[in-house]
Amino acid sequence: MTLWTNRRLVRDENEIRDGQLCAEVVTVTESNILLRRAQQLAQAYVDGLARRPVAAPVSREDLRTALGGPLGDAPVDSLTVVEELAQGVDPGLVATSGGRFFGFVEGGVLPAALAADWLTATWDQNPGLHVLSPAAAAVEEVTAGWLLDLLGLPSSASLGFTTGAQMANFAGLAAARHDVLEKAGWDVEADGLTGAPPVAILVGADCHITIGRALRFLGMGERTMIVVSADSQGRMDADALRRTLVDIHGPSIVCAQAGNVNTGAFDPLREIAESCRDHGAWLHVDGAFGLWAAASPAHRHLVEGVELADSWATDGHKWLNVPYDSGFVACARPQTHRIAMAMRAPYLVRETNGARDGSDWTPESSRRARAFVVWAALRSLGREGVAALVRRCCDHATRFAETLSATEDLELLNDVVLNQVLVRVGDDDTRTRKTAAIVQSGGEAWLGDTVWRDKAALRISVSDHATTTADVDRATTAIIAAAIATRP
Ligand SMILES: Cc1ncc(COP(=O)(O)O)c(C=O)c1O
C-alpha cells in the first residue's frame, strides 16, 4: 500500500525514443494516479455493462460487510479508498445505464455527458452566483435557450437546473403559489400561508406522486388536492376540469401531466390550458419524461398546446440520458419564478448587469454545475440526435408491445403512444408479479410491476440510448419464458 506522506511521487521511467533507451524522471501526482485508476475502473464498468447481469441479487449484509465497519481513526491512502469503493459496491450496482434496464423511467448515459460529468466534478464550480463561475452561468444561459427551443416552450421563459423533476415540480408550484396569492393580495414569501386565502389545487386522478409531495413541501398539503377524473389511459378529463373550475372562486392552480408514469399518456394540454386561461388559473405541466416528445417530430402532436402553460417540469436524467442528478423547471413568467426562488444577503455578491445568478431559479443555494453536462449532451446529439433518441425508444416500446401482446397468456393494458408498455400475465395478479420477479432475478433484463386500474401489470419503460433491437428481443424472450414458468 502506498501511503502518501506528501502530495507528489517521483519515479524513474525508461522509455525507448528513436531507438535509444532514455532514462527520464516523470513526476506523478497523487491526483494523476487516482484519476487514471478511476478512468480504468469507469472504463471497465462501461465496457462490461452489456455483459453483467442487469441486477444481480446481493444481500444487504454482504454489501455492508464489504463497505462497513467502524470509521477508522487513521487516514487511508486515496488509491486504496478508490479500490475499496469500486470493489465493495460492484455486486450491488444495477446496470440502469445498460440497454436492458426497463424499470421505472431510467435514462442511460451518453458518452459526451459522462465525460462532461467528470469534468464538472473536477472543475467543482458553484453556479449559484455568477461571480462564483461566469463559465457555469454562461453555459446555463445557453443551455436554457436550447432546452426551451427543443421542448417547444416560449423562448422568453426562465429555466432553472434542478436535481430532478421532483424539485422542478416544487419550484414550478412555488412560482404558481406566489402568483395566484399575489393576485389575491397576499405575499406568501413574506407572510407564509397562515391566514392566506385558500388556494384550490386541481390535479388529474393519475398525476405523479411528486406533485403531492411538492405540495406538502410548499405547506399546501396533499389532502387539499381536488382530483379531476381521468380516462382509461390516465388522461385528465378536460370537460370535468372545466366544470370543476366553474365552481371555484379564488386562487387556483391546475397540475397537468405530459407522460403518465405507467401508460405514457398525455393530458389534453390545449383544452386544459384554455380552461385555465378562461378561469385565471395557473397551469403547471409535469412532463418528467413526456415533455421530450416535443423534440421528436413524430411525437410532437402529443404535447400540442403545452406552450400555453405557465410552468413546466422535466428531467435530463431520464430521456436526455445525462447522469443523475438533472432536472429543469421552466416558467413563463421569469419575474414570478425569481421571486419564488431568489434569496438576498449582503455577503452574496449579486450581478446587477443582467448576468445570471443560478440560485435565482432553483430551490438550492449552492449546487453542482449540472448545465455543463446538459450542454455536452445536447451539443453531441444535436436536434436530430435528440429526435432520434426519442423516436428509437418509442419504436422499441412498440416492438415490445407487438411481440408481447401476440403471445399467449400476455395482454397489453395500455395504448402505446410513447415509451411505456403495460402487460398483464394470464389475467392474474399473482402470475404477473411472479413474472416480474423471475425476470428481475434472472439478470437478463429488469422491469418492474405496477397496478393499473386495479390490475397488476408488468411495466416496461424504454428510455436509454444504449437499448438495441437485440436488447428488446432478449428482454422479450426472458419475459415470455418467465410468464410460461408461472403457468399453474
Ligand atoms: C411524471 C413524473 N413526474 C415526476 C417524476 C419525478 O422525477 P424525479 O425522480 O426525477 O424527481 C417522475 C419520475 O418517474 C415522473 O414520471
Residue 350 maps to a domain:
yes
What's the CATH code of the domain at 128? 3.40.640.10
Looking at residue 13, its pLDDT comes to 47
Residue 209 maps to a domain:
yes
Residue 320 Cα to ligand 1 midpoint, Å, equals 14
Looking at residue 15, its pLDDT comes to 54
Residue 315 Cα to ligand 1 midpoint, Å, equals 8
- How many Å separate Cα 129 from the centre of its chain? 24
Residue 310 maps to a domain:
yes
Q: What percentage of the chain exceeds 70 in pLDDT? A: 94
Residue 354 Cα to ligand 1 midpoint, Å, equals 32
Residue 288 Cα to ligand 1 midpoint, Å, equals 5
Give pLDDT tens digits for 104-123.
999 999 999 999 999 999 99
Residue 393 Cα to ligand 1 midpoint, Å, equals 18
Residue 210 Cα to ligand 1 midpoint, Å, equals 7
Tell whether 30 and 142 lie within a shared domain: no
Cell numbers given for 276:
385555465
The whole-number average pLDDT for the span 22-45 is: 83
Tell whether 40 and 171 lie within a shared domain: no
Give pLDDT tens digits for 164-199.
999 999 999 999 999 999 999 999 999 999 999 999
Is the pLDDT confidence value at 3 over 60? no
Residue 37 maps to a domain:
yes
Looking at residue 1, its pLDDT comes to 35
Tell whether 141 and 249 lie within a shared domain: yes
Whether 165 lines ligand 1, by a CB cut-off of 6 Å, is yes
Tell whether 190 and 72 lie within a shared domain: no
Give pLDDT tens digits for 465-486.
999 999 999 999 999 999 999 9
Among 321, 351, 378, give the residue marking a domain's end: 378
Residue 469 maps to a domain:
no
Looking at residue 349, its pLDDT comes to 77
Whether 288 lines ligand 1, by a CB cut-off of 6 Å, is yes
Tell whether 129 and 274 lie within a shared domain: yes
Whether 261 lines ligand 1, by a CB cut-off of 6 Å, is yes
Tell whether 208 and 153 lie within a shared domain: yes
Residue 256 Cα to ligand 1 midpoint, Å, equals 13
Tell whether 64 and 186 lie within a shared domain: no
Tell whether 13 and 69 lie within a shared domain: yes
Whether 208 lines ligand 1, by a CB cut-off of 6 Å, is yes
The whole-number average pLDDT for the span 313-338 is: 98
Looking at residue 17, its pLDDT comes to 59
Tell whether 161 and 23 lie within a shared domain: no
Q: Please give the number of the atom of ligand 1 that sits closest to the Cα of 210.
A: 4
Pocket test for ligand 1, best of 162, 166, 173, 322 (most atoms within 8 A of CB): 166
Whether 265 lines ligand 1, by a CB cut-off of 6 Å, is no
Q: How far is CA 192 from CA 26, 178, 220, in A?
A: 62, 10, 11
Q: Please give the number of the atom of ligand 1 that sits closest to the Cα of 287.
A: 1
Buried b (16+ CB within 10 A) or exposed e, 178-209: bbbbeeeebebeeeebeebeebbbbbbebbbe
Q: Please give the number of the atom of ligand 1 that sits closest to the Cα of 260.
A: 1
Residue 488 maps to a domain:
no
Can you say whether the dihedral through the CA atoms of 403, 407, 409, 413 is positive or negative? Answer: positive
Looking at residue 344, its pLDDT comes to 79
Give pLDDT tens digits for 233-264.
999 999 999 999 999 999 999 999 999 999 99
Is the pLDDT confidence value at 22 over 80? no
Residue with CA closest to ligand 1 atom 12: 288
Residue with CA closest to ligand 1 atom 14: 105
pTM value is 0.94
Greater pLDDT, 29 or 422: 422
The whole-number average pLDDT for the span 7-28 is: 53
Grid-cell match 389534453, residue found: 268
Grid-cell match 421505472, residue found: 104
The whole-number average pLDDT for the span 328-356 is: 88
**Residues of the domain holding 58:** 8-92
Whether 107 lines ligand 1, by a CB cut-off of 6 Å, is no
Give pLDDT tens digits for 386-435.
999 999 999 999 999 999 999 999 999 999 999 999 999 999 999 999 99
The whole-number average pLDDT for the span 57-77 is: 93
Tell whether 133 and 43 lie within a shared domain: no
Q: What percentage of the chain exceeds 90 in pLDDT? A: 90
Residue 190 maps to a domain:
yes
Pocket test for ligand 1, best of 208, 257, 291 (most atoms within 8 A of CB): 208
Pocket test for ligand 1, best of 260, 261, 267, 322 (most atoms within 8 A of CB): 261
pLDDT category, 28, cuts 50, 70, 90? confident
Residue with CA closest to ligand 1 atom 7: 165
Whether 259 lines ligand 1, by a CB cut-off of 6 Å, is yes
Looking at residue 368, its pLDDT comes to 97
Residue 165 Cα to ligand 1 midpoint, Å, equals 5
Whether 327 lines ligand 1, by a CB cut-off of 6 Å, is yes
> Of 261, 293, 457, 295, nearest to 387 (Cα)?
295
In 148-238, where do the E strands start and end?
Answer: 158-162, 200-204, 225-228
Phi, psi of 442 (to 5 degrees): -70, -25
CB 464 within 8 Å of CB 94: no
Dist CA 438 CA 441 (whole Å) = 5
Tell whether 163 and 26 lie within a shared domain: no
Q: Please give the number of the atom of ligand 1 that sits closest to the Cα of 207.
A: 1
Tell whether 54 and 177 lie within a shared domain: no
Domain count, the chain: 2
Among 360, 378, 396, give the residue marking a domain's end: 378
Grid-cell match 410468464, residue found: 483
Looking at residue 350, its pLDDT comes to 74
Residue with CA closest to ligand 1 atom 15: 288
Dist CA 468 CA 197 (whole Å) = 53
Residue 259 Cα to ligand 1 midpoint, Å, equals 10
Average pLDDT of the residues of the chain: 94
Dist CA 62 CA 54 (whole Å) = 18
